[in-house]
Structure 1
Amino acid sequence: MTELLNGKGLSLVPKNDAKQGLKDFKSDQEVRWCPGCGDYAILAAVQSFLPELGLRRENIVFVSGIGCSSRFPYYLNTYGFHSIHGRAPAIATGLAASRPDLSVWVITGDGDALSIGGNHLIHALRRNVNLNILLFNNRIYGLTKGQYSPTSEIGKITKSTPMGSLDKPFNPISLAIGAEATFVARTLDSDRKHLQSVLREATAHRGTSLVEIYQNCNIFNDNAFEPLKDPEVRDDITLRLEHGQPIVSATKAVVRDADGSLSVVPRAEAGEDRILVHDAHNPDPSVAFALSRLDEPAFEHVPVGIFRQVDRPAYDVLMADQLEEAVAQKGPGDLGDLLMGGDTWRIG
């Protein structure tokens, strides 16, 4: 816990003196998702995790866009902002850049983040703003009643694609690593232990953390991730990513081929010396990117865990340093003089 509280991501956020519990982070609002929705599990995991941070609730902010997941701020007894479609990263960037004493979270979905919000998401990642972005991926538009989303598989039959989707889907992890995000992870809504362990690492990280959460929409895309949850097969197909540990499942292993590419082979045939040891701290994103592509074809083998976790100066810190330097060189300035200076004129 001491290590978490001293994490670079939380270093400027005021701590709370009194001990907090789950009830302290539950709001008085009725939770309104469809019965059985995976969002309930994520909400419960976050509500029970937040007391660990020991932060003042008034210094925690959840910003959401539009979609089922975007109801999240209503259900947490913190500050929150239910913003507009796809723009949560932009609004959260302004908060994080101007208020380093806040722990800022973005709650978004695969439709909200990767369609209208794709541009904002990419730039938040490349800038490395001090944000925690939780991307709920259910591979469908739920709030608007079941249209295909940017992560729906090819051939997906929905109300908007009655003959099957023609779009090749986004891989959110590949997208984030391609934007050189400094913290990228994947977890599951139903695996609370793993989800909270990833949240601990993401919160302690200084810069942008993106956590993709496979989340079940039991109304419009039920059992989309069932192989990862089925006790009979999940241990065979789940490739656990733990820094410094071999990348294996119960029966499979990731190895580096002679040409430098990665492949998944039966564990018994791999040989311990060939199995790739995960290095989440590698500054070169190419291996993490290659790992993100191993889930194609879907669910034969799926990497789960932290793909990338590297240090790079955060945007808000760089901006604060630049402002401080400008004041040192030119003084604090005067807003009135700025507005009335330069090319101005009077009418009438």
Structure 2
Amino acid sequence: MSSDTHFTDFKSDKQPTWCPGCGDFGTMNGMMKALAETGNDPDNTFLVAGIGCSGKIGTYMHSYALHGVHGRALPVGTGVKLANPDLEVMVAGGDGDGYSIGVGHFIHAVRRNIDITYVVMDNRIYGLTKGQASPTSRQGFETATSPEGTVEPPVNPQALALAAGGTFIAQSFSSDSQRHAELVQQAIEHDGFGFVNVYSPCVTFNDVDTYDYFRDAIVDLEETDHDPGNYEAAKDRIMDPGTEHIGILYQNEDSVPFSEREGIDRNMADIPDGAPERADRLVREFY
């Protein structure tokens, strides 16, 4: 891995088509900075994205990438990491992609503790499909498809991650570029599943969860007495209603990633002798 990589090395020549002011710009820039700071480069980085505004990120970043189907980014990222553990695997998604159709995959990726980084651009709305309520939208949130306000309470992704055995759970804000990059970097460096949920405002369809709202509401855990190694303290913070936190909510310093667990001693990138020939024979017989 290169030690002199610059974050612009991860920037592709494709111009983003996100709305001007979209929080995803800041989220992506922080991801690129974190990858460079951890000594990675495009040749050893694999980015998996799902569907939604966040799904475009694989086009805008320069690395190996795969644009998957809705809600399935994490199983693809898991497969990539198992197939080639030497790759730095990052999965990017949105609140709809990750916490609606993909929530089952999210829980199982957390509990397996695969050594990948999952960054979720949470704008609390479906932006790409023109502004429907998402799993993290506030209760009572009014949209074209919920004109009288949503009935359901929002999903708490940090609570889901903690309950599933998460070993690194963080929250950041796309507009706080330095802090966001630091948190993604810490997630990358963590031994296990690094989860960062990002307040990433949608300036077109969400006029409630705005940049101004988050700037006024956010509490930085670094400025409190919060101990991210204390599970009970993390639970209290995560379940505290109406408080927007940034920082590491919980980190298990003794985390053992999936690849280092007892009984996991085989690199799937090492193809057994004769496997390609057997696969070719099976394909011929099938057709």
TM range (shorter): 0.7 to 0.9
Provide the C-alpha distance between the structure 2 equivalents of 1:193 and 1:56, rounded to a whole number of angstroms: 20
Provide the C-alpha distance between the structure 1 equivalents of 2:188 and 2:276, rounded to a whole number of angstroms: 40
> What is the TM-score of this pair, normalised by structure 2?
0.88
User: Does the 8 Å CA contact 1:131/1:207 hold for their aligned counterparts?
Assistant: yes
Provide the C-alpha distance between the structure 2 equivalents of 1:90 and 1:214, rounded to a whole number of angstroms: 24
Report whether the alignment pairs 1:315 with 2:258: yes
Provide the C-alpha distance between the structure 2 equivalents of 1:30 and 1:198, rounded to a whole number of angstroms: 26
User: Does the 8 Å CA contact 2:34/2:182 hold for their aligned counterparts?
Assistant: no
Shift of 1:189: 0.8
Which of these residues, 200, 209, 232, is aligned with residue 286 of structure 1? 232
**Counterpart amino acid of 2:261?**
L
Which of these residues, 220, 224, 228, is aligned with residue 240 of structure 1? 220
Which of these residues, 280, 286, 305, is aligned with residue 247 of structure 2? 305
**Counterpart amino acid of 2:232?**
S
**Counterpart amino acid of 2:220?**
R
Shift of 1:206: 1.1
Which of these residues, 100, 120, 142, is aligned with residue 115 of structure 1? 100
User: Does the 8 Å CA contact 1:96/1:316 hold for their aligned counterparts?
Assistant: no
Provide the C-alpha distance between the structure 1 equivalents of 2:100 and 2:83, rounded to a whole number of angstroms: 27
User: Does the 8 Å CA contact 1:187/1:305 hold for their aligned counterparts?
Assistant: yes
Report whether the alignment pairs 1:31 with 2:11: no
Shift of 1:163: 1.7
User: Does the 8 Å CA contact 2:9/2:41 hold for their aligned counterparts?
Assistant: no
User: Does the 8 Å CA contact 2:27/2:121 hold for their aligned counterparts?
Assistant: no
Larger Rg: 1
Which digits, 9 at most, give the CA deviation of each residue in 1:166-193, with x for residues without a partner?
1111011111111111000001010011
Shift of 1:26: 1.2
Shift of 1:323: 3.4
Q: For residue 185 of structure 1, what is the aligned residue in structure 2?
A: 170
User: Does the 8 Å CA contact 1:216/1:223 hold for their aligned counterparts?
Assistant: no
Shift of 1:338: 9.4
Q: 1:286 to 1:75 in 2, by over 3 A?
A: same
User: Does the 8 Å CA contact 1:27/1:74 hold for their aligned counterparts?
Assistant: yes
**Counterpart amino acid of 1:193?**
Q
Which digits, 9 at most, give the CA deviation of each residue in 1:26-70, with x for residues without a partner?
111121111111111222232333322222311101100100011
Provide the C-alpha distance between the structure 2 equivalents of 1:32 and 1:333, rounded to a whole number of angstroms: 46
Q: For residue 147 of structure 1, what is the aligned residue in structure 2?
A: 132
Provide the C-alpha distance between the structure 1 equivalents of 2:7 and 2:131, rounded to a whole number of angstroms: 33
> What is the TM-score of this pair, normalised by structure 1?
0.73
**Counterpart amino acid of 1:241?**
L
Which of these residues, 201, 209, 225, is aligned with residue 224 of structure 1? 209
Provide the C-alpha distance between the structure 2 equivalents of 1:238 and 1:337, rounded to a whole number of angstroms: 57
> What aligned pairs does 1:325-340 form with structure 2 within 5 A after superposition?
none
Q: Secondary structure at the match of 1:321?
A: coil
Which digits, 9 at most, give the CA deviation of each residue in 1:191-245, with x for residues without a partner?
011101111211110110110100110110035043321xxxx3xx533223xx7
Q: Secondary structure at the match of 1:74?
A: helix
Which of these residues, 93, 99, 114, is aligned with residue 129 of structure 1? 114
Provide the C-alpha distance between the structure 2 equivalents of 1:319 and 1:338, rounded to a whole number of angstroms: 29
**Counterpart amino acid of 2:259?**
D
**Counterpart amino acid of 2:221?**
L
User: Does the 8 Å CA contact 1:155/1:164 hold for their aligned counterparts?
Assistant: yes
Unaligned runs of 5+ in 1: 1-14, 248-276, 325-331, 340-345
Report whether the alignment pairs 1:210 with 2:195: yes
Kindly report the root-mean-square deviation, in angstroms, between the aligned alpha carbons of the 2 structures: 2.4
User: Does the 8 Å CA contact 1:97/1:315 hold for their aligned counterparts?
Assistant: no
